[in-house]
Amino acid sequence: MFDSNKYVNADIEQIVNNEAIDWNQFVNKSVLVTGATGLIGTLVVKALLARDIKVYAAIRNEEKAKKIFNDFLDNDKLQFVIMDIMKFDTFDFDVDYIIHTASQTSSKLFVEKPVETINTTLKGTQNILSIAKEKAVKGMIFLSTMEVYGTPSTDEKIREDHPTNLDTTVVRNCYPISKRMAENLCTSYAKEYDVPVKVLRLTQTFGPGVLYNDGRVFAEFARCAIEGRDIVLHTKGETKRNYLYVADAVASILIALTKGEAGQAYNVANEATYCSIFEMAELVANDIAKGNIKVKVEVEEDLSKFGYANTLKMNLDTTKIQSLGWKPEKDLKQMFDNLSMYMKNE
């Protein structure tokens, strides 16, 4: 069974036909997915169901989940588990794999709710690791972030052993610093309790499934193209990073889940998409909006209210994840083509 939205359906097909994923390891197995109604979690669940794999979808809002998984509600392989990962440290069912995607993702809330952001990452991840230990799972994935590297200032390639310059006295750093601690917690569970958990450090990820009112920069650029509004940057747009298509992200998760090394971290990004925010805005204005909108720079004096990270150059090296057989399939223009068409339809 697939999704009725053709853009999501195409992504599901891309994943289920990915020959680098060892689907045989999922036969007669079950997977617990946290953050199942988030962008990545949703596509993970739908791809697994399309392969007739039992999924326990951990959710907080059943009404929202039923809307998102409307096309899959009659599939007996899908079971909703209403849970709060902050309070949840046991699981009533046997489970073979865990994919932990639940996380705070709003930069604004990193600034406004830093304590809650830290607690969600640390306590939530420890609770899920406890389940993995209790159930003796065959594999677990923890989704981390490229932000654990801090703010690199050159275009050098960043491998998994790259140091960080994160300042613990900066409130917004609650997110990447708590992710670093959670990563070490994963490594510690792998060492002390033999939990086969792997860490994926994803770059900024998008594609079909992004809500129309999403506050992140790629969504704003897509909205501008759809609505015919000029793109207004509140900075000079000098930050540079790679990007990742959501279906490519899900493929990396399923590959690392069965082929990755316990206790290890893997960068995940499309290296060919490395560009500045300004360059990405220009691509959207010229190639997606067909030159009908412009890019304007109106620098704000106080950027703290936006929750923006500092200007950086995050050029991830993905040799390690590619050694497992993963490779990205969508370039930046294709990402925005699919995102804008999905948002326009939604």
| Domain contains 247 | yes
The tally of domains found in the chain comes to 1
pLDDT digits (tens, 9 = 90+) for 249-293: 999 999 999 999 999 999 999 999 999 999 999 999 999 999 999
Give the model's pLDDT for residue 16: 97
Average pLDDT of every residue of the chain: 94
DSSP conformation letters of 78-140: EEEEE--TTT----SS--SEEEE------HHHHHH-HHHHHHHHHHHHHHHHHHHHHHT-SEE
> Is residue 303 predicted with pLDDT exceeding 80?
no
- Residue 158 domain-assigned? yes
Residue 2: the pLDDT is 67
- Cβ(321)–Cβ(232) under 8 Å? no
- Is pLDDT above 80 for 197? yes
Query: For residue 290, is it within any domain?
Result: no
Is 19 domain-assigned?
yes
Question: What's the CATH number where 26 sits?
Answer: 3.40.50.720
Percent of the chain surpassing pLDDT 70: 96
Q: Which residues constitute the domain of residue 320?
A: 6-208+243-270+315-330
Is residue 296 in some structural domain? no
pLDDT of residue 306: 54
The reported pLDDT for the residue numbered 215 is 87
> What are the CA-CA distances from residue 35 to residues 26, 57, 85, 162, 299 (Å)?
20, 8, 9, 28, 35
Q: Is the pLDDT of residue 4 over 80?
A: no
Each residue's pLDDT tens digit, 220-245: 999 999 999 999 998 899 999 999 99
Bridging pattern class, strands 270-276 and 240-245 = antiparallel
